[in-house]
Amino acid sequence: MSRALIIVDVQNDFCEGGSLPVEGGAGLAAEISEYVDAHHAQFDHIVATQDWHVDPGAHFSAEPDFLDSWPRHCVAGTRGAELHPDLDTEYIQAYFRKGQFTAAYSGFEGLLAPDDAVPTGDRKPGAMPLGGSTDTVAGGDTDEEPGSLAAGEDAIGLDDWLQSHDVEDVVVVGIATDHCVKATALDGIQAGYSVTVLRGLTVGISEDLDDAVAEMELGGVDIA
By annotation, the residues acting in catalysis are 9, 98, 180
| Closest CA relative to residue 92, chosen from 159, 29, 183, 20 | 29
Q: Can you name the residues that pair with 167 across neighbouring β-strands? A: 2
Burial level of 171, CB count in 10 A (0-12/13-18/19+)? buried
- Residue 137's CB is within 10 A of a number of other CB atoms, namely 15
For residue 38, which phi and psi values (nearest 5 degrees)?
-85, -25
